[in-house]
Amino acid sequence: MTKSAAAERRSIPPEPDSPLAILLLEDSPLDAELISARLEEGGLSFKLTRVDSHVGLNEALSGCRFDLILSDYNLPGFDGVAALSAAHLACPEVPFIFVSGALGEEKAIELLKRGATDYVLKDRLERLVPSVERALREAREKSDRRRAEEQLRERERTLSTLMGNLPGMVFRCNPNLPWLFEFASEGSLALTGWRPEDFYAGGEVTWASIMFPEDVKRLEPELKVALAERRPYSATFRIRTRQGEQRWVWVRSSAQYQPDGTIAFVEGFATDITQQKQAEEEVRQRTEFEQQLLGIVSHDLRNPLNAIMLGAATLLRREGLDDKSTNSVRRILGSAERATRMIRDLLDFTQVRLGGGIPVERKPLDLHAHAAQVLEELEHTHPDRKLELSQQGDTHGEWDPDRIAQVITNLVGNALKYSAPNTVVGVKTRDEGDTVVLEVHNWGEPIAVELMGNLFKPLSRGAAKVDMQTRSIGLGLYIVASIVRGHGGAISVSSTVEGGTLFSVRLPRSAPAGRSP
C-alpha cells in the first residue's frame, strides 16, 4: 500500500464506540504504563502499540493503521521534530500529540506551528484524555468538512457536465420583463450566439431583447398567470440569434419562492426546436395540399359520373333492350355507383382530416323502412346476390337519412365483396329500448385477427389480399365508424368460421345530451 493510499484509509477517525488504534512513541516503559493507565481511567477504549526507536516508528507508520499518535519529545537517537515529520509524511490526517516531561513554551509553540495537534506534560497527565478527545473530535469534524467539500465539488462537476451535454441552455432569470438573467449555462452560446456573461444583469442582452416582439406580448401574460398559480410554464417562441438567424425555442420553467411567498427567480431550460417546427410546417403544407387536391378532384369527378349514372338508369328503363345490352348497362351503372361511393368516401375522409368531422342532420326516420329501401336499390345493382332483411320491434328515431343509407350501403357492399356468391347477406334492424341496432351478416372467410385492430382505420381493408377488380381504397369502414360516432353510437364486429362475420351498429334514438343535433 502506498503512503497516500494508507493515509486516505486512516483519514476518517473511528466512531466513538470503536476501539482507538493508538501509536505511542515512548522509550520509558514506566511512562508508557502511566499513559496507558490514564487513558483507561478516562474511559477510552483503545489498542496501544508502543515503539521506542526511529526504526520502530518507521515500521509502525508503514501501514498507517492508527487513529492517534502520542510521542515523547526526547528520544534516543532522534527528537520529536523528526518523529512529527515522519508521522506527517506517512499519516498527515492522524492527530499527533506530544506527551513530554519537559517542554518549554517556545518549543511547544514551534511544534504546534509545525503541525502538532497538542502537547501534554507528563506531570499534568490529567489533561491527556481531554486533549485526546478534543483532537479526535477536531479530526472527525475536519474529515466531515473535507467529505462535504468533496461531495460539493463532485455535484458541481456532475451538474456542469450534465448542463454541458444538454441540447440547450439552463437559465435563471428575473420573473419580470425584460427577464434579466442571473445565470446561463454554456449552452447559451450554441442556442443564441451569446455567451452566458452577455445575459447577466447589466449585460448586452435579455430574453425579451432577442425574442420576437409579438411573442413577448403573448408570453408575458401567460407567464404571469402561471406564476400566480404556482405551476410550471412551458412555451414556444422565436428568437433572433447574434448572427441574425431566426430560431424556434421551447422553454420549460418554474418559479422559486422566498419564505415570505414572493418570487425569488425563475429557473428553466431552453432548447432549439427549429428543425421540428420546419418539419411540422412541411407536413402541414403537404397535408393541406393533399387534402385540397383530393377535394378538388373528387368534386370534379362527381359531375361526369352523375351523367353516366343518369344515362345508364334511363337506358335500363327503356323497353326492347336485349339481355346482352341490359347486362352491359347494369355493369356501367354498377361501376359508376362504385366510383360515386368512392368519391363520397374520399370527400368525407377529406372533411374528417380537415377537422370538421362528418356533418349529421337529424330527421325523424324509421330504420325498418329505410333499410328496406336501401336494400331494394342495392338489389338492382347486385341482381345475382340474395339480400335478406329481418325486422323486430319499433325502430323509429332521429338520424340523418343520407348518412344512415351510406352506413347500410357500405356495410352491405363490404359483406357482398367478402362473401361467396352463393351465400346470403343478412340485414337485421331491431328495437332495444333507447337504442336501435343495425346488423349486417355474411358467410365467408373470417377476418384475420391481425387485421381486426385496424379495421376501422383509414386506408385499411378487411382482408390481407383482394383481387384487382374488387379492391377498394379502404375508406368504407372508416367512414361508417365516423358516421356512427357522429350519431353518438358505436360499432363492433365479430368474425369466426362458425358464426360468419357480423357488424353491429348501435344508434341512440335521439342526440345524446350535450351533443348538438
CATH number of the CATH domain containing 72:
3.40.50.2300
Structural domain containing residue 387: 358-517
Distance of alpha carbon 462 from alpha carbon 449, whole angstroms:
10
3: number of Cβ within 10 Å: 14
Q: pLDDT at residue 429 above 90? A: yes
**Cβ contact 26:32 at 8 Å:** yes
Integer-rounded Cα radius of gyration of the chain: 46
At 268, which helix (H) or strand (E)? strand 263-272
Q: pLDDT at residue 333 above 90? A: no
Structure confidence at residue 491 as a pLDDT band (50, 70, 90): very high
Q: Would residue 159 count as lying in a domain? A: no
| CA 345 to chain centroid | 37
Q: Please indicate whether residue 373 or residue 332 has the higher confidence score (pLDDT).
A: 373
Q: Would residue 437 count as lying in a domain? A: yes
The per-residue pLDDT for 305 is: 78
CATH number of the CATH domain containing 495:
3.30.565.10
Q: pLDDT at residue 469 above 70? A: no
Q: Would residue 151 count as lying in a domain? A: no
DSSP state, residue 10: T
- Identify whether residues 324 and 365 lie together within a single domain: no
Q: pLDDT at residue 338 above 90? A: no
**pTM (predicted TM-score):** 0.42
Q: pLDDT at residue 468 above 90? A: no
The per-residue pLDDT for 249 is: 93
Segment 478-493 mean pLDDT: 91
- Identify whether residues 219 and 203 lie together within a single domain: yes
Tell me which residue of 352, 357, 358 sits closest to 287, measured CA to CA. 352
- Identify whether residues 23 and 131 lie together within a single domain: yes
Lowest mean pLDDT among 159-173, 317-331, 364-378, 457-471: 457-471
- Identify whether residues 248 and 181 lie together within a single domain: yes
Mean pLDDT of the chain, nearest integer: 83
Q: pLDDT at residue 17 above 70? A: no
- Over the stretch 24-57, which tens digit does the pLDDT of each residue have? 999 899 999 999 999 999 889 999 999 988 888 8
Long-range pairs for 353-358: beta carbons < 8 A, 24 or more residues apart? 353/287, 353/291, 354/291, 357/482, 357/486, 358/403, 358/479, 358/482, 358/483, 358/486
**Cβ contact 195:189 at 8 Å:** yes
One-letter amino acid identity for 109? I
Segment 229-258 mean pLDDT: 92
What is the rounded end-to-end Cα distance, in angstroms, of the chain? 87
Question: Where are the strands (E) in 52-185, listed by range?
Answer: 68-71, 74-75, 78-79, 96-100, 118-121, 168-173, 181-184
Distance of alpha carbon 356 from alpha carbon 330, whole angstroms:
36
One-letter amino acid identity for 288? E
Q: pLDDT at residue 467 above 90? A: no
